[in-house]
């Protein structure tokens, strides 16, 4: 849904057009794509377990993040 957060640097103007729920999903989708294990029964766990592509495998995924993803995560956090 938010693949662009992993493929290119986002800009503040496009993030300003998004609501906080969408920003939260975008940020967490970056982690989910690497198989991050969210808090069982929590909002993100419930949401991503419904996605066909999601496979919870790792408690930590920071080592997998690209420079672009790290940049976008910071930008999203500051805009949430």
Encoded tokens for 59:
């408690």
> How much is the pLDDT for 80?
86
Query: What CATH number is associated with residue 74?
Result: 1.20.58.1690
Encoded tokens for 49:
């377990």
Residue 14: domain span: 4-79
pTM of full prediction above 0.85: yes
Residues 6+ apart with CB under 8 A from 41: none
Give 13-57 pLDDT, tens digit per residue. Answer: 999 999 999 999 999 999 999 999 999 999 999 999 999 999 999
Whether the CB-CB separation of 10 and 77 falls below 8 Å is answered with: no
Number of domains within the chain: 1
**End-to-end Cα separation, the chain, in angstroms:** 18
Whether the CB-CB separation of 47 and 38 falls below 8 Å is answered with: no
């Amino acid at each position: 849904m938010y693949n662009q957060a992993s493929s290119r640097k986002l800009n503040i103007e496009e993030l300003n057009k998004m609501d906080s729920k969408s920003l939260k999903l975008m940020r967490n989708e970056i982690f989910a794509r690497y198989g991050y294990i969210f808090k069982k029964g929590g909002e993100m766990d419930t949401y991503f377990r419904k996605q066909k592509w999601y496979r919870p495998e790792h408690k930590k995924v920071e080592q997998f993040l690209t420079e672009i993803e790290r940049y976008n995560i910071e930008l999203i956090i500051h805009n949430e």
